[in-house]
C-alpha cells in the first residue's frame, strides 16, 4: 500500500531514524500520511502540489534565507504552504513553538510571493504523528508579511481513528 510514493517500509525507517519507533505505530502513521494526502486532494481539488521545493532568497540586508518547503500547493487563489513536524506533543506545538515555526513559514512565503507575485492563501503546521494540523494566520502590514501570535488550532479531517482528538 502506497501514498504518494510513501510506503510502510519508508515510514518504519523514518521512525527509527527519529528514534520514535517505540512511541509511534508505523502502520497507524502510514494511515495518517495517506489520510493527509486525501485531505489535501479534497481541500484543494485540482491544485498542483510541489513536494520538498527548494527556496532561497537574499534579503534586503544581505542575509540568505534558504531551505526546503515540505509541501507547496498552487491553489486557484494563491499559495498554501505546509510544514510537516513529527512531534507527538500537539499542545506544546500550539502553545510554545508556533512563533518559531511561523517565522520559518513567513520567510518561505515571503520568498515565494516575491518570486511569483501570487499571494499566500494559508500556511499550516501538519503533524501526522499526532493526527493534527495548525493553521497559522498571517497578517499583512507595511513591513511585509508578519506572523501574528494569535493562531487558530484546528483538528484536521484526516484523522483516521474514530476517537475524538484532544
Q: What is the mean pLDDT of the segment spanning 133-152?
A: 49
- Higher pLDDT: 8 or 4? It is 8
Distance CA 118, CA 120 (A): 7
Structure confidence at residue 141 as a pLDDT band (50, 70, 90) = very low
Q: What is the pLDDT of residue 144?
A: 42
3-state DSSP assignment of residue 65:
strand
Question: 94: Cβ–Cβ under 8 A, 6 or more apart, which residues?
Answer: 134, 151, 153
Assigned fold of 47-154: Lambda Exonuclease; Chain A (3.90.320)
What residue spans define the domains of the chain? 1-43, 47-154
Q: What is the pLDDT of residue 165?
A: 37
Q: What is the pLDDT of residue 142?
A: 33
- pLDDT higher than 90, residue 44: yes
Describe the crossing of helices 8-17 and 26-43 by its angle, rounded to 10 degrees: 110
Which of 61-75, 76-90, 95-109 is least confident? Answer: 95-109
- pLDDT higher than 90, residue 80: yes
Q: What is the pLDDT of residue 99?
A: 56
Average pLDDT, the chain: 74
Q: What is the mean pLDDT of the segment spanning 150-159?
A: 38
Q: What is the pLDDT of residue 3?
A: 45
145: cell is: 508579511
Amino acid at each position: 500500500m502506497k501514498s504518494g510514493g510513501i510506503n510502510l517500509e519508508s515510514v518504519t525507517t523514518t521512525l527509527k531514524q527519529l528514534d520514535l519507533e517505540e512511541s509511534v505505530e508505523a502502520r497507524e502513521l502510514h494511515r495518517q500520511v495517506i489520510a493527509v494526502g486525501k485531505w489535501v486532494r479534497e481541500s484543494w481539488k485540482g491544485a498542483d502540489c510541489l513536494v520538498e521545493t527548494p527556496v532561497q532568497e537574499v534579503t534586503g540586508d544581505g542575509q540568505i534565507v534558504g531551505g526546503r518547503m515540505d509541501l507547496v500547493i498552487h491553489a486557484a487563489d494563491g499559495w498554501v504552504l505546509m510544514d510537516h513536524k513529527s512531534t507527538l506533543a500537539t499542545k506544546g506545538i500550539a502553545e510554545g513553538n508556533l512563533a518559531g515555526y511561523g517565522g520559518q513559514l513567513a520567510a518561505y512565503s515571503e520568498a515565494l510571493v516575491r518570486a511569483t507575485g501570487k499571494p499566500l492563501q494559508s500556511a499550516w503546521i501538519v503533524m501526522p504523528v499526532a493526527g493534527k494540523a495548525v493553521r497559522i494566520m498571517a497578517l499583512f502590514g507595511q513591513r511585509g508579511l508578519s506572523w501574528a501570535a494569535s493562531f487558530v488550532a484546528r483538528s484536521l479531517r484526516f484523522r483516521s481513528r474514530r476517537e475524538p482528538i484532544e
